[in-house]
Structure 1
Amino acid sequence: MRRFNLPQNGLLWTTSAYIVWGLTPLFYQHLRGVEAMEIFALRVLCSVPLMLVLLWVTATPFRVLKMLMVPRTFFWLFLSTACISISWYLNTWGATNGQVLMVSLAYFLTPLISILIGVIYLRERLNSLQWLALLLCACGFLYACMSLESFPWITIGIACAFGCYGVIKKQVRIDTLNGLTAETLLMVPFALFYLVSMVGQTHWESDVDNVRIFLVMTAPMTIVPLGLFAFGVARINNLSTIAVLQYIEPTLYFLLAVFVFGEAMDMERLTTFLLVWAGFIIFSIDATRRAKLAKLVGPKKLDI
């Protein structure tokens, strides 16, 4: 039973989620100068009550405590929490330290990293198009390592963390909202430890330029697009649609980095992006082809 009579257009809600996610660097410009760890800690604490509200609004049964009581589920949730924490932190650091372009590159790489992890860990077999996509992205990564002035650690860190996160989530059947609520709760002790250890040294306490308002707003900036995504993706049956929509976010990151924040787009970075873009285009073509094939032959689980 739905608590509100909302439009049921899954494409609208899912697209809206990716647009909000893609525009978040604009918000984080208001927090430049604030330590990324402080932003992360307060983002976690402020997200807990909002996650509970989101569970209620979407009429999602509360299963968090039951899930955490199962040792196997707790183990996988602990690992996924570590991965999403790294991704959140590095994303925040990049957005507040003039590295939006490299964060954008990370999200273009993530689906291909997920495929690579699947090959190594899950022994999945790839087709020729997937191998070609991986090869192009690997070339882009190696070129970046050789040509850029510093190692692209933020790009690799986010891509690997989020790629591992996706693979880990496949190991246990958990709905999106209960899963993220559990992960947020598992982050709370670490967030509290950091804030207690930094008493007297945080921007929250100084409240310079009304920074508290923006720190509190990090929670809805996290939860609102998640709610839009969870509501929308449940109403989309075509997997290829989701595979294409996910690139709205890094595309907006890229456009903001170059045309709004004025980050340098030299020949080295352009070459890296072109190789990665070629890889994800091939990946998207393959995902679309396989989704259409699955639709013809009947329901089938696809690892895309």
Structure 2
Amino acid sequence: MQLSNLLQGGLLWTTAAYIIWGLTPLFYQHLRDVEAMEIFALRVLCSVPLMTILLWVTVTPIRVFRLLMEPKTFASLFISTACISTSWYLNTWGVTNGQVLMVSLAYFLTPLISILIGVLYLRERLTPLQLIALLFCSSGFLYACISLDSFPWLTIGIALAFGCYGVIKKQVRIDTLNGLAAETLLMVPFALFYLIGMSGLTHWETGEDNDRLLLMLTAPITILPLGLFAFGVARTKNISTVAVLQYIEPTLYFLLAVFVFAEAINTGRLVTFALVWIGFTVFSIDAMRRSKLARFADSIGLDK
């Protein structure tokens, strides 16, 4: 495949987004002495001007304020903001407290959690392969609860928060960038409340210039892959490709946790990951199979 075709398509950009997301623990290791809530608050505030620039660069019509004025949309965005805020905070806490492995497990579980929420909340029907995938992932989770020294609250918290976030966003007709901009604006009051309440005690005020620079860089580290993802997905014809690519991030988390951060990978964790990996492999096979069937149906419809 020629480079020009890759650049015009969405595969390269989407892959780049997931690789950057997967390597973020390397960056956050330099902020291990900073409270996760402070990192979260400053990331939100520094993201506001960058979101404005991203909307301008991508020539995305700004619909944020109109959407926030619609009561139903505002309620959905408020809940989705609570979910993504929880996910961001727990992710930051995990990677700065030596829990990259459990964060990795959370992102392997997230798509399956989304399916389960869709079944319970949206009354969606499972395909046989999706059911098998859920059974394997559920077995992995139950095994983790029994075998690990403590309840995997971090993994479950991230998976549930991000899974709920995905389901809610499916119900709101809004593009990725405007949705993120609206959620960022809704986070700002809480970020300011925390920073004002901690005035004089934050690492931003008491730390060195290098620490302040790193804290400011949390915004582009967040926004850059989101921009690449939005740009790539809009140009990706086969959405099942995205479903498979999303596992780049937790795979890189796992590799970093084991080979860079030397986190313990005992038998209990290995069995848990094995069961979950089987589950997401089955899920990926099902996604690709259904995509091929959809393309075949479309080709028949065009031939008629």
Q: Which residue of 2 aligns with 1:120?
A: 120
Q: Which residue of 1 aligns with 2:74?
A: 74
Report deviation, 1:190. Answer: 0.2
Q: Distance in 1 between matches of 2:129 and 2:10?
A: 29
Map of 1:143-222 to 2, 5 A cutoff? 143-208=143-208, 210-222=210-222
Report the residue type matching 1:146 in the other structure. I
Q: Which residue of 1 aligns with 2:56?
A: 56
Q: Which residue of 1 aligns with 2:3?
A: none
Map of 1:1-304 to 2, 5 A cutoff? 7-208=7-208, 210-298=210-298
Q: Deviations over 1:94-145 (max 9, x none)?
A: 0100000000000000000000000100011101111110011000000000
Q: Distance in 1 between matches of 2:110 and 2:227?
A: 22
- Tell me, what secondary structure is at the counterpart of 2:33? coil
Report deviation, 1:209. Answer: 6.5
Q: Distance in 2 between matches of 1:298 and 1:82?
A: 38
- Tell me, what secondary structure is at the counterpart of 2:171? coil
Report deviation, 1:207. Answer: 2.0
Report deviation, 1:75. Answer: 0.4
Q: Deviations over 1:237-256 (max 9, x none)?
A: 10121111100000000000
> Where has structure 1 moved over 6 Å in runs of 4 or more?
none
Q: Distance in 2 between matches of 1:28 and 1:282?
A: 32
RMSD over equivalenced CA pairs, Å: 1.1
Q: Distance in 1 between matches of 2:103 and 2:207?
A: 28
Q: Distance in 1 between matches of 2:181 and 2:125?
A: 33
The alignment of Structure 1 onto Structure 2 pairs a total of residues equal to 294
Q: Deviations over 1:167-189 (max 9, x none)?
A: 00111100000000000000000
Report the residue type matching 2:116 in the other structure. L
Report deviation, 1:270. Answer: 0.2
Report deviation, 1:7. Answer: 3.6
Q: Give the TM-score, by structure 1 length.
A: 0.95
Q: Distance in 2 between matches of 1:138 and 1:12?
A: 33
Q: Deviations over 1:56-80 (max 9, x none)?
A: 0000000000000000000000000
Q: Distance in 2 between matches of 1:12 and 1:284?
A: 19
Report the residue type matching 1:277 in the other structure. W
Report the residue type matching 1:187 in the other structure. M
- Tell me, what secondary structure is at the counterpart of 1:151? coil
- Tell me, what secondary structure is at the counterpart of 1:298? helix
Q: Distance in 1 between matches of 2:13 and 2:238?
A: 15
Q: Distance in 2 between matches of 1:104 and 1:254?
A: 6
Report the residue type matching 1:89 in the other structure. Y
